[in-house]
Chains A and B, each alone.
Chain A
Amino acid sequence: MKDLTAEVETQTILELRNVEKRFDLDKGFLETLKFKGGRFTREQRSVHAVNNVSLEVKRGEALCVVGESGCGKSTVARLVAGLLEPSAGEIHYDGQRIDNKSRGQLLDLRKKMQMIFQNPYASLNPRMTIQQALEEPVRYHNPGLSRGEVRAKVAEVMKSVGVDPSWSSRYPHEFSGGQRQRIAIARALTVDPEFIIADEPISALDVSIQAQVLNLMLEAKEERGLTYLFITHDLSVVEHFGTRVVVLYLGSVCELADTRTLFSNPKHPYTKALLSAVPQLKDDKPNHIRLKGEIPTPINLPPGCPFESRCASANARCREEKPRPIVQPDGAMVACHAVEEGRLSPEI
């Protein structure tokens, strides 16, 4: 019996293989024409939002994706949810390739995979009552259910997220931000999914409400055996919620490790700087690592390591060659030439 659960836990549910996403800036033939050096040339500029990202999510875990704005974390979420199509690479869900499927073919998958968005003020339709908003996915995915069964399902989910079912005839504007996010979570849970993509679900909420919503998501994880892909910029939330963490910088994976390993022993210079930048509650002496330079634009990505322009340990190799993720002795995957060569200055 025990072996069986262990096997289920390590089963891969989602896999991204060398996924890339580019957004073209010059759309259409005329926009790509540039006048250079006395003649017309064609030039296609694009934003490289996600570059060669490979990762696995195991059943029952909460994989957190962290990084700063513009690092491609939301793009990863949208690619997985099928809201965007990758420019290259493959996405597999439960052993099945999903990135090349049509909308109709994805219907079954939508029942298993649901998304929670950042802003509960924008993700609920203002002209639908809570009842309507919550009923819609249940009816859509289970056409065989009677009205009574649909209502019962909605009431059950509302209760489980701590929203009084008797409020179901109200409209979203009658609820506070925290309550709306509960309702957004309820809407994701009504179809009994197994996989939840949460894109900054608590960033728009106040501290005391953040704790409420985070608790709710932890409860749902335990009770329903959910797997999370959790996108956030807040490292304290990651430490609390995540089982594993991926650190993204300009669309590339810097470091991927177990939460405990990453927080106790960060290796990539960017991860170190990121962790040191979090304002600590009780620590009087901040030993924050100052990053020099500016973040390069994702339009003209440097050929080497994306972090090279701000890194104190960068050398010629970092400027020319993009580092590959290499597995470290403690299981962390780190993409850094300096870590690989052991020339990272110890104090940084």
Chain B
Amino acid sequence: MSLLSVRDLTVKFAMRDQTVTALDQISFDLGKGERLGIVGESGAGKSITGFSLMNLLSRPGFIDSGSIQFEGEEIAGLPDRKMRSIRGNRMAMIFQDPMVTLNPVLTIGQQMVETLQAHRRLSRADAEQIAIMKLREVYIPSPEERLAQYPHELSGGMRQRIIIAMALLLEPQLIIADEPTTALDVTIQADIMELLLELCTSNMVGLILITHDLGVVSQMTERTLVMYAGRIIEAGKTREIINDPQHPYTQGLINALPQQTLPGHRLKQIPGNMPGLAAIPTGCAFNPRCPYAVDHCRSTRPETVSYASVEVACHEVNRLHNTVLEDESA
């Protein structure tokens, strides 16, 4: 049995004059202890996916249809009271900005003890002992003293470590990390990622890593979902997707990175912008920006097909692949 199983999840936002679809029938599975990356650009629906899994969608957003099974239990549409016993306990979320995730008027100790006591019957002293242990696991120096400190007394990297320690407090089965290092410097990012990887592998914790950085996904995850305009357009083993992307958007995204072009030369850019949710093109959402689009792509929405060991939602993947092969042999 997989840890998490999402089927045809559709999330909509009821705006004043129309209802827009933010997530369109996304389906994926996550095994126990598996690390999954969700990549895409802003507006692709990555964060909405994370929020939906945690049942943190707030109005005007709502789950329109589909199911989310967590450890065999249906959690989509679970009442808040029941969800509260799962959230933070069996699944935890790490947010992007460590500066705003922690409560600035409570000490680190108060926040950690509060989380523990909300879910377990523990004395204050016992809860503090667990907190100190967890802080030590994330390599916080002199954890006993940190408990009495306020968030503003700590650096960004230290805060993000504390947030990871808090996410791990109740030994969850699943951690959803939404751009956990985007607000941090590269040297700190590398430390945090290494730590997250180490903790997830040693505790067999499932990880969903939401990021825009393909490098991070490549280093951290076993499988990857690529999202575009609310749909999963490519899914498969991270290595396969990075080395041999099938969808024209994934190819474009990887080729647009500066390291894929000789220094000083023109970067291979994807023309245009991601469409807004209110104006998603008919057919394949990527068709206005796609160099391979044909009439078919403009009229019919592509279904997901298996191709070269990945799942890809593209009509023309067959032709595309052959053209690339011809180019290479030429």
A95 in contact (CB, < 8 A) = no
Contact partner of A240 among B158, B193, B212, B258, CB < 8 A?
Answer: B258
Inter-chain contact B193/A279, CB cutoff 8 Å: yes
**Distance in Å: Cβ of B88 to nearest Cβ of chain A:** 29
Kindly state whether residue B42 has any CB partner on chain A within 8 Å: yes
Q: Which residue of A lies closest to B274 (CB)?
A: A206
A211→B242 contact, CB < 8 A: no
Question: Could you say which residues of chain B place their CB within 8 Å of the CB of A233?
Answer: 185-186
Q: Does A88 contact B (CB under 8 A)?
A: no
Knowing A211-B269, A282-B242, the reply to whether A239 touches B257 (Cβ < 8 A) is: no
Minimum C-beta distance from A176 to chain B (A):
5
With both beta carbons as reference points, the residue of chain B lying nearest to A221 in the complex is identified as B264
Interface assignment of B86: CB less than 8 Å from any CB of chain A = no
Interface stretch, picked from A5-13, A183-191, A286-294, is A286-294
Residue A339 interfacial (CB < 8 Å): no
B residues contacting the other copy or chain, number (CB 8 A): 41
**Contacting residues of chain B (61-79) with chain A, CB-CB under 8 angstroms:** none
Measured between alpha carbons, how far is A286 from B195 in the docked complex, in Å?
Answer: 13
Verify A279–B218 contact, CB threshold 8 A. yes
Counting CB contacts under 8 A, is B194 at the interface?
Answer: yes
Interface pair B219/A279, CB less than 8 Å apart = yes
Binary B-proximity of A123-157 (CB < 8 A = 1, otherwise 0): 00000000000000000000000000000000000
Contacts of B303 in A (CB 8 A): none
* B263 to chain A: closest residue by CB: A240
* Docked pose: A47 CA to B268 CA in angstroms: 42
Contact check, B41 vs A206: say whether CB atoms are below 8 A apart.
yes
B190 lies within 8 A of A214 (CB)? no
B264 CB contacts on chain A under 8 angstroms: 218, 240-241
Given A206-B42, A215-B269, A239-B258; A279-B190 close (CB under 8 Å): yes
For residue B259, CB closer than 8 A to chain A, the reply is: yes
Q: How far, in whole Å, are A235 and B194 apart by their CA atoms in the complex? A: 20
Q: Would you call A68 an interface residue if the criterion is a C-beta within 8 Å of the partner chain's C-beta atoms?
A: yes
With contacts A211-B267, A218-B264, A279-B193 taken as known, whether A178 is within 8 angstroms of B215 at the C-beta atoms is: no
* In the complex, residue of chain A having the shortest beta-carbon distance to the beta carbon of B157: A294
Query: A281 contacts which chain B residues (CB < 8 A)?
Result: 214-215, 218, 242, 254, 257, 259
Residue on A nearest B258 in the bound complex, by CB: A240
Q: Tell me, in angstroms, the Cα distance from A215 to B191 when the chains sit together.
A: 32
CA distance A271 to B200 in the complex (A): 30
In the complex, the answer to whether A279 meets B216 with C-beta atoms within 8 Å is yes
- Contact at B187–A68, with CB atoms within 8 Å? yes
Task: Flag whether B142 is at the interface (Cβ < 8 A).
Answer: no
Once bound together, how far apart are the Cα atoms of A50 and B129, in whole Å? Answer: 43
* B186 A277 Cβ-Cβ under 8 A: yes
Per-position contact with B for A251-290: 1 when CB-CB < 8 Å, else 0? Answer: 0000000011000000000000110111111111010101
Give chain B's interface residues, CB within 8 Å of chain A. 41-42, 155, 158, 185-191, 193-194, 212-216, 218-219, 239, 242-243, 252-254, 256-259, 261, 263-264, 266-271, 273-274
Q: What are 19 inter-chain pairs, A to B, with CB distance below 8 A?
A: A68-B187, A206-B41, A206-B274, A207-B41, A207-B253, A208-B253, A208-B256, A208-B274, A209-B273, A211-B256, A233-B185, A236-B257, A237-B258, A240-B264, A277-B186, A278-B186, A281-B257, A283-B219, A295-B155
